[in-house]
Amino acid sequence: MNRGRLLWRKSLNVVMLTLTGLSAFGVVSILFLILGYLIWNGGRSLNLDFFTQLPKPVGETGGGMANAIVGSLKLLLLAALMGLPVGLLAGIYLAEFGGKFFSFVIRYTTDLLNGVPSIVIGIFAYSLVVLPVKHFSTLAGGVALGIMVIPITVRASEEFLRSIPGSLREGAMALGASKWRTIATVILPAASGGIITGMLLALARVAGETAPLLFTAFSNRFWSPGWSQPIASLPVMIYTYAIAPYDDWHRQAWAAGLILLGLVLLANVGCRLVLNRGGVSRSI
Amino acid sequence: MSTASTTFEHAAPPNAGPRAFIQRLRQGDEIAHIVTLIFAAGILLITSLLVYELWINSTLSRHQFGLNFLWTQTWDPISGDFGALPFIYGTLVTSIVSLVIAVPLGVAAAVFLAELAPRKLSDGIAFLIDLLAAVPSVIYGLLGIFIVVPLMRTTIGPVIKSVLGELPIFKGPNYGVGFLTAGIVLAIMIVPFIISVSREVLLTVPRDQREAALGLGATRWEATWKVVVPWARTGIMGSIFLALARALGETMAVTMVIGNDPKIKASLFAPGYTIAAVIANEFTEATGDLYLNSLIELGLVLFLITFILNGLARLLIVATSRGGGHP
């Protein structure tokens, strides 16, 4: 009886522990499955045209996504210009100046903004930028992505500023530097590596966003000069091409998927390696 | 702005006269303080503006339908009759399906990473899982359409039907697209969040808890399941809430595999619709202000749900990391 129970407990132990291991490796293998499928399907579909040509009219095969690649870059540039400064300065406030209560409120709001579904951010940018002028624009897409960049940048900036040892700060102050001079010439440069990595991660994350662009930047089958016209972007192109009924469009969706995933993962691997080496928490 | 002026005085030394203040202003400290404060307050402003815009731009539909909006089933743009129930139902069902799959898988994987795997292996796997979390949702949608949907039609669906076909939730024709497919894709998307956060929480459980259990003769599994996991359960709940909030708001991947049909069906094989998906699909085609307002009100509903869930999740995670997880 007693021996039977012990045997049961021991076998339960082995079975359950094996199951936990299988779960972990199962989840990780999904990453490799995703990579494998995209390299297999996307690799076959990639060609030079993809990078240099405009989309062909519906029904014709061939063509590329040159406009969407440039479009994604333009949208990211706008997002960086709008989101990064706000995020950095707010991060400096939280790390260096903030009072207890107000900082708590800002931090909480930042987390909240981070958790807002991206499609809702899209509605927000739509009512802010598209509704008043009654047409989709690059600018609206940039605003949507820029808002999404802010919370990640705030957290990265605050965390890295806080990780700078107090002795550096005291050293600068002891030499008679004022607080802002200390921040600008000692603390920020010391934390800059981490902050820049955090910013890159933020941009990598919004680079793959589709939902907030659907009704802000919309899409465009041609070049989009300036900032006030609808513009194509890689994620939106993947979406439209994948749900369309043409085989050649599916082929191009895979190719675009490979490029997008490749860039996003490369940025993530690079940034996270730098961050892990710095020994800072992985919470970003 | 009152906050600005109060922090202003705080920042100056206690018995500083106006001269000392001007001195500090000249040095630039107060200017830097105010400038960064303005940007920090900007985040508050953006978030409040977001709520305001959602509220204002859904006025028409709020006045027309009132609270009935939430439990009416018709969605008829032509006659201008809008009810959110099919979308709320679809959002809840897909999220529940995804949790049923992702929670056991995620918690088990987190237990393995935190309790069993050597630190190096655990860190390596956690790194790969962070990468999985970084995969854009449209990529999941792409794989969903071309890999999961056919697989559902030819393999997963028939297998489930042959085993559990008698249950009402597995009755009805299997098209490949539908609640179950969307739930599976969502599960893959949220499992990295559960693993990541749960692992961190499990790692904060004090070492002596494990040692005490093992010392009393518990097996490794018993120590983990009966001592370590209960200790961390508040934080694990937090990770599940975070994942749920994400599943509810997820747009692209779901839109691409759910079938986009605003009907309430008991069968998980039936095509459905979610809040985020209907906004993504119909927003640019919405003709008439009432239609647009109804879609924006759906966005407001989605915002409120995720807002509450995220708030709860944060509280739970903070509670555990303060060591308050244990009763």
Q: Which residues partner with B233 through β-bridges?
A: none
Mean pLDDT of B189-208: 93
Instruction: Give CA torsion, residues B36, B41, B44, B45, to 10 deg.
Output: -120
Mean pLDDT of A169-180: 88
Report CB contact under 8 Å: B32, A34.
Answer: no
Q: Chain A: nearest CA to B163, how far in angstroms? A: 22
Annotate chain A with DSSP letters as a single string.
Answer: -HHHHHHHHHHHHHHHHHHHHHHHHHHHHHHHHHHHHHHHHHHHH--HHHHHPPBPPTT---B--HHHHHHHHHHHHHHHHHHHHHHHHHHHIIIII--HHHHHHHHHHHHHHHHS-HHHHHHHHIIIIIHHHTS--HHHHHHHHHHHHHHHHHHHHHHHHHTS-HHHHHHHHHTT--HHHHIIIIIHHHHHHHHHHHHHHHHHHHHT--GGGTTTT---SS---SSSS----HHHHHHHHHHSS-HHHHHHHHHHHHHHHHHHHHHHHHHHHHHHHHT--S--
Mutate to test the interface with B, among A124, A143, A206, A218 (most CBs of B within 10 A): A124
Q: Where in chain B is the domain with CATH 1.10.3720.10?
A: 73-324
Kindly list the distances between the CA atom of residue B269 and the CA atoms of B153, B264, B272, in Å, as whole numbers in the listed order: 10, 12, 9
By Cβ distance, the residue of A120, A183, A257 closest to B32 is: A183
Residue A284 lies in a domain: no
Report CB contact under 8 Å: A117, B302.
Answer: yes
Residues A96 and A204 in one domain: yes
Map tokens 């107060």 to a residue.
B30
C-alpha B244/C-alpha B307 separation (Å) is 12
User: Taking CB atoms and an 8 Å cutoff, what residues of chain A touch B35?
Assistant: 89
Burial of B8 (0-12, 13-18, 19+ CB in 10 A): middle
Are the beta carbons of A8 and B217 closer than 8 angstroms? Answer: no
Query: Helix or strand or coil: residue B131?
Result: helix
Are the beta carbons of B256 and A239 closer than 8 angstroms? Answer: yes
Residue A172 lies in a domain: yes
Mean pLDDT of A167-187: 89
User: Taking CB atoms and an 8 Å cutoff, what residues of chain A touch B197?
Assistant: none
**Closest chain A CA to residue B35:** A89
User: Taking CB atoms and an 8 Å cutoff, what residues of chain B touch A41?
Assistant: 146
Residue A269 lies in a domain: yes
Q: Does the structure show a pLDDT above 60 at B114?
A: yes
Q: What is the pLDDT of residue B135?
A: 96
Report CB contact under 8 Å: B27, A180.
Answer: yes
By Cβ distance, the residue of B47, B128, B242 closest to A112 is: B47
% pLDDT > 70, chain B: 91
Residue A16 lies in a domain: yes
- The encoded tokens of residue B95 equal 């999220």
Q: How many domains does chain A have?
A: 2
Q: Chain A: nearest CA to B171, how far in angstroms? A: 27
Q: What is the pLDDT of residue B322?
A: 63
Q: What is the pLDDT of residue B165?
A: 81
Residues A250 and A128 in one domain: yes
Q: Does the structure show a pLDDT above 70 at B15?
A: no
With cut-offs at 50, 70 and 90, classify the pLDDT of residue B85: very high
At A98, phi and psi to the nearest 5?
-55, 140
Q: What is the pLDDT of residue A177?
A: 86
Of B257, B294, B34, nearest to B149 by C-alpha is B257
CATH number of the domain bearing residue A213: 1.10.3720.10
Alpha helices in B16-134 (DSSP H): 18-27, 29-56, 59-65, 85-111, 119-134
User: Taking CB atoms and an 8 Å cutoff, what residues of chain A touch B135?
Assistant: 31, 34, 208, 261, 264-265
Residues A26 and A67 in one domain: no
Q: What is the pLDDT of residues B264-307, one digit of tens each?
A: 998 999 999 999 999 999 998 888 889 999 999 999 999 999 99
Report CB contact under 8 Å: A113, B43.
Answer: yes
With cut-offs at 50, 70 and 90, classify the pLDDT of residue B318: confident
Annotate B185-207 with DSSP letters as a single string.
Answer: HHHHHHHHHHHHHHHHHHHTS-H
Mutate to test the interface with B, among A97, A152, A273 (most CBs of B within 10 A): A97
Domain boundaries, position A102: 50-278
At A188, phi and psi to the nearest 5?
-60, -50
Mean pLDDT of A173-197: 90
Q: Does the structure show a pLDDT above 80 at A284?
A: no
At B80, phi and psi to the nearest 5?
70, 40
Residues A29 and A130 in one domain: no
Query: Helix or strand or coil: residue B12?
Result: coil
C-alpha A185/C-alpha A177 separation (Å) is 10
Residue A3 lies in a domain: yes
Residues A34 and A153 in one domain: no
Residue A283 lies in a domain: no
Rounded mean pLDDT of chain A? 91
- The encoded tokens of residue B38 equal 């303005």
ipTM of model? 0.92
CATH of region B73-324: 1.10.3720.10
Report CB contact under 8 Å: B3, A102.
Answer: yes
User: Taking CB atoms and an 8 Å cutoff, what residues of chain B touch A119?
Assistant: 249, 251, 276, 279-280, 299, 302
Q: What is the pLDDT of residue B316?
A: 82
**Closest chain A CA to residue B311:** A112
Q: Which residues partner with A63 through β-bridges?
A: A55
C-alpha B232/C-alpha B200 separation (Å) is 10
Q: What is the pLDDT of residue B321?
A: 64
Q: Chain A: nearest CA to B142, how far in angstroms? A: 6
User: Taking CB atoms and an 8 Å cutoff, what residues of chain A touch B284?
Assistant: 214-215, 218
Q: What is the pLDDT of residue A57?
A: 85
Q: Is the pTM of this model over 0.80?
A: yes
Q: What is the pLDDT of residues B215-256, one digit of tens each?
A: 998 999 999 999 999 999 888 998 999 899 999 999 999 999
With cut-offs at 50, 70 and 90, classify the pLDDT of residue B30: confident
